[in-house]
Amino acid sequence: MENTTDKFLRYVAFDTSSDPDSQSQPSTNKQFALLEQLRKELDAMGVKQVEVDRYGYLMATIPSNMEGDIPAIGFIAHVDTSPDAPGRGIKPRIIENYDGQSIVLNEEKGLELNPDEFPEIRDYIGQTIITTDGTTLLGADDKAGVAEIMSAAEYIMAHPEFKHGDIKIGFTPDEEIGRGVDRFDVARFGAKYAYTMDGGAIGELEYENFNAASAKLHIQGRNIHPGYAKNKMLNAILIASELNGMLPVEQRPEYTDGYEGFIHITRFTGVVEEAELQYIIRDHDFSLFERKKKMIQECADFINLKYGANVVKVDIKDQYYNMKKEVEPHYHIIEKAVEAMRAAGVKPNIRPIRGGTDGARLSFMGLPCPNIFAGGHNFHGKYEYVPVQSMEKATEVILNIIRNFTE
């Protein structure tokens, strides 16, 4: 059998960045290359009903080898990587027996994983860590999850004595841009319960997530020759800066934690004539979530009152909601995951997701779907890394969950 690390290194070689500006499904055609690779590998293992559809969903089944009414359990990960950092030409670095010191990622750019800035890396002293070379993201979000599911599938197919019910495997596109399950067919997938392998550090188990929305604000300025601009020019760059400055600083993500929500500016482009601001809005509490959306609208209304009607146009769209109320009635699936972690020697860390997963929307589509650690840290950027032992433990947890549903 191939180890999880080798699978992971093969998968991160595929450029699978999603594109929020694309209207296609999936948003980038290049995601199909990895999906096709996964289809071939699953076929070679002997997994059944392996299909990749035109929307970029891979679904497969490992049929039950037991009698009785055992619920079908699904495991899901996404193949796309975040467009927030380059995803092409990834050159992973393998740091064996990590010594607790700074890891230089890129000497030329002055990038390093300094334990004083990223103290959680000290938890992995003595382990093998895979990092970037400081020029791209790594892709552990969520190719670590993909590799872990593939490793579990390979183990099951190679060990017919391993008892299990129906196991459903699902790989999705475009999770990073909030469109991961837009066309996901829950009935075709066929699982009663599922788990996304899309969490962070080892031990994470999550069934609460943010309510989420996006906001796009277009500022229409008026460009006049600066020599004759008095009482005529409207500089869209300055108006956009003014509007952004009206939002509360303490609600930026760099100042929030736990259950605290945020308003995060993700893009600012513009010239004097026009500018655009893009935000993501997040909060676990639905009433606070609604208040944040209203706040952005109120800021835009003030700007329009100050500079003229329709200077700012706002487009706010909800993306997903907190899955807690959909998962809690099926709390036994959380308990089985807790038991699975303990059996693997992993301390469960039940916590709210400060983000979202495909599982959030799937839970509202009738498929209760909590989230389990994939093992990585510092997702979406050049400081991303994943400990090898965390990926191995995640694979073990998958197998333990499957066992727990047979008992």
The answer to whether the beta carbons of residues 161 and 123 sit under 8 Å apart is no
Q: Cα angle vertex 227, ends 226, 230, to 5°? A: 75
Distance separating alpha carbons of residues 31 and 53, to the nearest angstrom: 12
pLDDT tens-digit profile of 207-224? 999 999 999 999 999 999
36 is catalytic: no
What is the reported pLDDT for 232?
A: 96
Structure tokens at 394: 């995640």
What is the reported pLDDT for 173?
A: 97
What is the reported pLDDT for 372?
A: 97
Residue 181, helix vs strand vs coil:
coil
Which residue ranges of the chain lie beneath pLDDT 70?
Answer: none
What is the reported pLDDT for 353?
A: 86
Q: Please, what CATH class does the domain formed by 211-320 belong to?
A: alpha beta
Domain 4-209+322-404 in CATH 3.40.50.720: no
Which pTM was predicted? 0.87
Amino acid present at 45: M
What is the reported pLDDT for 404?
A: 97
What is the reported pLDDT for 357?
A: 79
Q: Tell me which residue has tokens 């829950």.
A: 186
Angle between helices 140-158 and 4-12 (to 10 degrees): 140
Of 41, 80, 154, 198, catalytic: 80
Residue 330 burial class via C-beta count within 10 angstroms: exposed 0-12, middle 13-18, buried 19 and up: middle
Of 15, 148, 175, 384, catalytic: 175
Domain boundaries, the chain: 4-209+322-404, 211-320
43 is catalytic: no
Dmax (CA) for the chain in angstroms is 84
